[in-house]
A and B are shown apart, each in its own frame.
Chain A
Amino acid sequence: MAADGQPSRKGFFTDTSVCIGCKACEVACKEWNQVPEDGLDFLASSFDNSGRLSADTWRHVAFIEQRQPLGHQDPGVGRPEGGAGDAPGPVDLGMPSFDLPGQRTGEDGGSGGGDFRWLMSSDVCKHCTSAACLDVCPTGALFRTEFDTVVVQEDICNGCGYCVPACPYGVIDRREVDGRAWKCTLCYDRLGDGLEPACAKACPTDSIQFGDLDELRERAERRVEDLQEAGVSSARLYGEDPGNGVDGAGAFFLLLDEPEVYGLPPDPVVTTRDLPSMWRHAGAAAVVLLAGAAAAFAGRRS
């Protein structure tokens, strides 16, 4: 609670390094928010059959399979990159060793054992500080709550769909059967009762963490430092920076690779940022046109 009696800003920190891909967040979200089923589509995209965030999928777990080695003696969350002097390598305990079953495999007789990693990441609405969906909504259906989250009021939304192309992350979407826009509410109804959102509640590994945004940012910084110290030099935060194109996301992530790998835009910008400048240019163009037309009439008279 802030000094003025307003609740502090709430958000998500999704630590993908401990995501196990159970999809409990997807199911818990749908159960609580009564989101309809999104179609029985086999996508052949590893174990991901949701595909993307949409009006009927408010949490989406991406599965990315990579031909990249895991570090030895590593819990499975990254790899020491070659030549990094400060990253601790595997520790030789002097134990006799042999290959694990299945490690010495492959047509080449198997030098490439272990060169595989599986990234999983639960995506969600970012609840931007500068939210373009909110800026363009003509009915006021989208509003900013006392928790500084962005929520659609389904009884006000008229289905104009302006918010859909406005979102720089492609999160908000219209539901085909009723035409209205739907997205993550950060469980606004649960927050009001002092509960955490359904996805964070269901997450068995605390990959999805809910809390005060300031505190989450500190926690995330510490987690990145810990991972980097442990040799996972690819660990980085995504979306937490208040200086980014959306002035900081209310839901941010710890990733183990470039954002593009997870299907996230590398440098999203609030799409309404250039609107004032566009209006100024349009106004200037209008003035020039009017002046030109006036000059043409004035010229004919003389």
Chain B
Amino acid sequence: MPTHYEPQDTPFTNPLYGHQRNPTRLLFQHELNRYHPAPDTPGAGVYPYVVTTYRLTEHFTAGGMSRWTPYLSELQPEFFCEVGPELAAERKLEHGGWATVVTARNAVEARVLVTDRMRPLRVQGRSVHQIGMPYHWGPNGYSTGDSANELASMALDPNVHIQEVKALTADIRPGRRPRGRERVALVEEYRRRAGVTERTGTED
């Protein structure tokens, strides 16, 4: 029987079913792989926005080949995040400027593209903002940038072991991310505010 489970990171409770998350999913307890608090629990609002990742026409997978090619790199030269005008106003994000996206795993920086294509979702009577991120960048190559995969958690589906990189939650703030230790400190500060422990998000 088909059923519906919410993703590991989600701002919403499962509308269909008593189990919030798939009880057969595979989780990995690791200090770099912390999960977000369940919706409607204290600390869930620390990561209030929905993130999804996708491809661009110009690049291939994580960009390991296409980011080394000048003709493709110049067409999409930088890692960016797409936000709607409402979210940009809420978080004072500047079109063409920098933003830092934070999860319990890591913080990455990306250029901001404010676009009407990103619309707030209206679910369960409230609206939640989306952040769209292509995942083609990394530290090497001709065109470089932070990797969207840094934000995702390892929570695998039981059948084919695919991690959840298409649906997660995060916070976004204007400006570039801190470097070195300060980057770790920022992620830890978010975890502290959300009350994230090694048990968080492991319930079904």
> Which residue of B is nearest A23, CB measured?
B75
Known interface pairs A23-B57, A27-B71, A106-B127; A44-B113 also in contact (CB < 8 Å): yes
In the complex, chain A residues whose CB is within 8 Å of the CB of B121? 102, 105
In the complex, chain B residues whose CB is within 8 Å of the CB of A22? 57
The stretch of B76-84, B165-173, B176-184 in contact with A is B76-84
- When chains A and B are docked, how far (Å) is the Cα of A241 from the Cα of B197? 70
Q: Is the CB of B75 within 8 A of A102?
A: no
Place the interface of chain A in its size category.
20 to 34
Contact mask for chain A residues 64-82; partner B; CB cutoff 8 A; 1 contact, 0 none: 0101000000000000000
Known interface pairs A47-B76, A49-B76; A107-B56 also in contact (CB < 8 Å): no
Known interface pairs A37-B74, A50-B74; A109-B122 also in contact (CB < 8 Å): yes
Contact mask for chain A residues 24-66; partner B; CB cutoff 8 A; 1 contact, 0 none: 0011001100000111111110110110000000000000010
- When chains A and B are docked, how far (Å) is the Cα of A30 from the Cα of B77? 17
In the complex, chain A residues whose CB is within 8 Å of the CB of B113? 44, 46
Tell me whether B163 is interfacial, beta carbon within 8 Å. no
- What is the number of residues of chain B that contact chain A, defined by CB distance less than 8 Å? 29
Tell me whether B33 is interfacial, beta carbon within 8 Å. no
- When chains A and B are docked, how far (Å) is the Cα of A31 from the Cα of B75? 14
Tell me whether B61 is interfacial, beta carbon within 8 Å. no
- When chains A and B are docked, how far (Å) is the Cα of A27 from the Cα of B57? 12
Tell me whether A262 is interfacial, beta carbon within 8 Å. no
Q: Is the CB of B56 within 8 A of A31?
A: no
- When chains A and B are docked, how far (Å) is the Cα of A49 from the Cα of B80? 12
Tell me whether B158 is interfacial, beta carbon within 8 Å. no
Tell me whether A104 is interfacial, beta carbon within 8 Å. yes
Tell me whether B37 is interfacial, beta carbon within 8 Å. no
* Contact residue among B57, B72, B78 (Cβ-Cβ distance under 8 Å from A21): B57
Residues of B within 8 A of A (CB): 56-58, 70-78, 80, 86, 95-96, 111-113, 115-117, 119-122, 127, 142-143
